[in-house]
Amino acid sequence: EKAEADQRAQQQAQQSPPQHQNAASPSPLGSAQPHRLTVKVLAARDLPKLDPQAHPSPYVCMSAFDAGGEGFNQVQQGRLDHKVTKRELVSVKPKTGRVVPLKRTKHVTKQMNPQFDETLELTEALPCFKTLEALQAEKKPLTGVPLTGGDVVMLVSVHDHEESAEDKLLGRCVIPSVSPGPPQDSWFRLLSQDGKEQTGLLGRPSSVHLRIEYAPSG
């Protein structure tokens, strides 16, 4: 009887996989629910007038970056930049943190206080800064990271559309941490690329009005 019991136990062990194989650890991305980042670009106000001969024709660019669990420090945030040049300048050294915008609005002709009322949506973000830095150093393409509920860093910039010249930066802002939750409706101050506050003709701060919602898709 003991021999038969041992044999049955051995057969059961062979048929049943070890417990740790059944309780496989899910990957962070594969187990999370797909999310969508929806940004309604409502308006901008008191934009700087860089050309004394004409009002700007502004448009808004947006990108999101995987926060990578650590977020972006102040230096990394300052290096983020949207590439909107119409032609490739061979003499310009590639800059870490400069990316083609993931989304942009249409431009509004000759307005210092433009109304956009456009909705931009993202289901993917650009990589975290360390990965971004490594890929750009090796001149490799940037691969999108699916949005699954992790924190993201947002780069929003306003540019002056030019018909026959390079578009100029009117101001930018970095939103260092965007998490899933209730919609956020705010005016965000615009800074120059070197961190100086931008102002309009009356000396009031330049800003952009956004309504941000980061939530599960569907």
Residue 17 lies in a domain: no
Q: What pLDDT does residue 197 have?
A: 97
Residue 12 lies in a domain: no
Give CA–CA dist 184/211, Å, rounded.
6
Q: What pLDDT does residue 94 have?
A: 63
Which residues face 121 on adjacent strands? 38
Tell me the C-alpha to C-alpha distance, in Å, between residue 15 and each of 10, 90, 206: 9, 65, 69
Q: How many domains does the structure of the chain reveal?
A: 1
Distance of CA 55 to the CA centre of its chain: 28
Mean pLDDT, each 10-residue run in order, the chain (218 residues): 49 43 35 90 97 93 94 95 76 77 98 98 97 94 94 98 92 97 98 96 97 94
Q: Identify residue 155 by its one-letter amino acid code.
A: L
Residue 68 lies in a domain: yes
Q: Over the Cα atoms of the chain, what is R_g? A: 24
Identify whether the C-beta of residue 121 lies closer than 8 Å to the C-beta of residue 212.
no
Residue 16 lies in a domain: no
Give CA–CA dist 7/144, Å, rounded.
53
Residue 19 lies in a domain: no
Residue 14 lies in a domain: no
SS3 for 136-200 is HHCCCCCCCEECCCCCEEEEEEEEECCCCCCCEEEEEEEEEEECCCCCEEEEEECECCCCCECEC
For residue 183, give every residue at least 6 positions away whose Cβ sits within 8 Å of its Cβ, in sequence order, or none. Answer: 211, 212, 213
Closest residue by Cα to residue 65 from 169, 139, 176, 173: 176
Residue 2 lies in a domain: no
For residue 217, give every residue at least 6 positions away whose Cβ sits within 8 Å of its Cβ, in sequence order, or none. Answer: 33, 34, 35, 36, 123
Residue 46 lies in a domain: yes
Structure tokens at 62: 């947006």
What CATH number does residue 84 fall under? 2.60.40.150
Q: Record the pTM.
A: 0.83
Closest residue by Cα to residue 213 from 183, 176, 185, 188: 183
Tell me the C-alpha to C-alpha distance, in Å, between residue 160 and each of 42, 60, 107, 116: 17, 9, 8, 14
Q: What pLDDT does residue 125 have?
A: 98
Owning domain of residue 125: 29-216
Q: What pLDDT does residue 137 have?
A: 94
For residue 53, give every residue at least 6 positions away whose Cβ sits within 8 Å of its Cβ, in sequence order, or none. Answer: none
